[in-house]
Amino acid sequence: MDLDTNLDNSALKYGWVSMDGGYEVTKSTGIIRKNLEYLKRRRSIINLVCRGYQSGGTLLFDFDDTFIFIDKPKDWTPDNKKFRVVYRNEAKVWMHFVTLVRKVTADALKCAMPQELYMLQRRSHYRVLLPSESRVSFTYSNDEEYRLAVKDLSVGGLLMYTKFDTDIPRHGHHIKNLSLTIPCHDDIPGVENGVLTVKVDDAQVVREFVRQQHPMLFCYGIRFELSSAEEEKVLRYVRQRELEVLRKGLNG
């Protein structure tokens, strides 16, 4: 991931700067060392990620002014010279930095001190795009059932849409008995036969708008509160999609 050459270098040296793609980045040596100290002190799990490879959980066990030292994963191969170190910080936000392997021993990787640190920006309810086959069904007036396509999802709501202007509930109205189905092959609760199902008893339409470009779409923002079990399903699904963002190529 290349930094925009127009970024304010002074800001990068002392704090965080927003980037495209939902990231913030810093070159602050103080912030970088603080994160390395957190990983070392807390023995927090890290993953090493590069094209075609993701390690199991491992540890950063030491660092100095020039190098960091990582327990060598059991499946490490000599071809992996440049990779991302991916982890969650104390606030459970995804972080990563890129490093180069300088030396490989029987049980450790000696790697270059990272020069940049990336943080995935988090909203209170992080939204992820859903596969185009995702659908939501619900009931409204006189228990009539509707079935619409779904654009995105968070633990606080979703965006659904249709090509037809029907008598779907308008802004402020409540809908009942939502059943969301998402194609999914992750090993998370609620997945059966390649489909994740999420149930919601009650929800509210909090936004409606028309996307004018072809094809015209009638869109509805839905807000809901999930039960603990359903929230866990959505959180696990969202986390998997976040990790996929971090798994993209080093220049992605």
Provide, rounded to the nearest whole percent, the portion of the chain with pLDDT above 90: 46
In this structure, which CATH number among 3.40.50.2000, 3.40.50.2300, 3.40.190.10, 2.30.110.10 belongs to the domain 9-122? 2.30.110.10
Distances (CA, A) of 212 to 38, 59, 205, 209, 215: 49, 50, 20, 9, 7
* Secondary structure, 3-state, 30-52: HHHHHHHHHHHHHCCCEEEEECC
Q: pLDDT tens digit string along 83-138?
A: 999 998 887 788 999 999 999 999 999 999 999 999 876 555 677 889 999 999 99
Q: Please report which confidence band the pLDDT of residue 79 belongs to, taking 50, 70 and 90 as the band edges.
A: confident
> Are 9-122 and 128-244 the same fold in CATH?
no
Kindly state which CATH superfamily the domain 128-244 is placed in: predicted glycosyltransferase like domains (2.40.10.220)
- 209-247 tens-digit pLDDT: 888 777 888 999 999 988 888 888 888 888 788 777 666
Question: Poorest-confidence range of 56-70, 100-114, 158-172, 214-228?
Answer: 158-172
Centre a 10 Å sphere on the Cβ of residue 160 and count the other Cβ atoms it contains: 27
> Could you state, in order of their start, the residue ranges of all structural domains in the chain?
9-122, 128-244
